Amino acid sequence: MDILDEDARALSGALERGDVSAVEVMQATLARINAVNPQVNAIVSLRDGDALLAEAQAADSAPRKGWLHGIPIAIKDLANARGLPTSKGSPLFEGQIAQQDDVMVKRLRDAGALIIGKTNTPEFGLGSHTFNPVHGATCNPYDLGRSAGGSSGGAAAALAARMLTVADGSDMMGSLRNPAGWNNVYGMRPTWGTIPGDADGDVFLHQLSTLGPMARCPQDLAALLDTMTGADAAQPLSTSPDATLPMLTAPLPAQRIGYLGDWEGALPYEAGIAELSDKALQQMSALGHHVINLPAPFDADQLWESWITLRSFAVAGGSHALYADSEKRKLLKPAAIWEIERGLAMSAMQVNHASMVRSDWLRAVNRLFEQVDVLVLPSAQCWPFDVNAVHPTEIAGVAMDTYHRWMQVVIPAGLIGLPVVNIPAGFGENGLPGGLQLIGRHGSDGQLLKLAQHWHTATDWPRTRAMPG
Which residues are catalytic, by number?
76, 151, 175
Burial status of residue 356 (CB atoms within 10 A of its CB: 0-12, 13-18, 19 or more):
exposed
> What is the C-alpha R_g of the chain?
21
Element (H, E) at 96: none
Collapse the DSSP code of 278 into the 3-class scheme (helix H, G, I; strand E, B; otherwise coil) and give the result.
helix
Amino acid at 351: V
187 contacts: CB under 8 Å, gap ≥ 6: 152, 156, 169, 171, 176, 177, 179, 180, 181, 212, 213, 214, 221, 421, 422
Distance CA 206, CA 198 (A): 12
| Neighbour tally for 367: CB within 10 Å | 9
What number of CA atoms fall less than 13 Å from residue 435's CA on the CB side?
35
Q: What phi and psi, each to the nearest 5 degrees, are found at residue 6?
A: -70, 150
The sign one gets for the Cα dihedral 319, 213, 40, 67 is positive
Distance CA 5, CA 411 (A): 33
**How many angstroms separate the first and last alpha carbons of the chain?**
14
- Are 156 and 191 spatial neighbours (Cβ–Cβ below 8 Å)? no
> Which residues does residue 433 pair with via DSSP β-bridges, in sequence order?
427
CA 192 to mean position of chain CA atoms = 13
Cis omega (within 30 of 0) for bond into 444:
no
Amino acid at 441: R
Longest dimension (CA), the chain: 61
